[in-house]
Structure 1
Amino acid sequence: MGKWYARPVLFVADVQRTVDFYVGKLGFSEKWRFADEVAQVDRDECEIIVSSQRPPKTGMGMLFIELTAEDFKVLPETLTSRGVVFTRGHWGYPVVIVDDPDGNQLYFPDPESPAG
């Protein structure tokens, strides 16, 4: 059986504003864009498509992004230094939560915490 590959789509009100956030605040790069309606941002092996094509779904996304233990440890400091507001939460284990400009949530789980 072959490798499965997935790219989440997060719905947003303004693609450029969202790309600016992911690139400028979270360190992604813009990989491609289709008009002003759809774009993809990438960082390492994390690829996210953002789209303004489904307004009723804007801001309803939730995405888990796994980091190495080392990267997770410096995440709060990195986010703070870039002016990114975040919260700490729990989803069976500790997580750092970042809301994008439309309220889509990025959950960064603590890789060193046992589940549950």
Structure 2
Amino acid sequence: MENNWIAIGHIDDIPLRGARCVKTPQGKIAVFRTAENEVFAIEDHCPHKGGPLSQGIVHGKAVTCPLHNWVISLESGKALGADEGAVATIDIRNEAGALSIRLTHQMMAAAE
């Protein structure tokens, strides 16, 4: 399972400072595109109350949860500021615009 890369679409499918949700056997993954054209993938639930991070506002390399305004780092998956908690980050690669993610068992352990 270590090299289980799954194609999820093209970078142009995601608007700048936007996201899309990808359903996998291990849960929903939020894939983000920053204003600088960087892509990140994290679990699609806020560590606070489970809000859908893929529906949040992307700013810099972070996303603000649409439910209670928690700010989550897209790089580390950790809550920023005074809030505590984290979501799993998912390996993502961008090969000439073609995006793929790598699923591992680590994602499930982080959710427990």
TM range (shorter): under 0.3
Q: Which has the larger radius of gyration?
A: 1
Q: Where is the strand percentage greater, Structure 1 or Structure 2?
A: 2
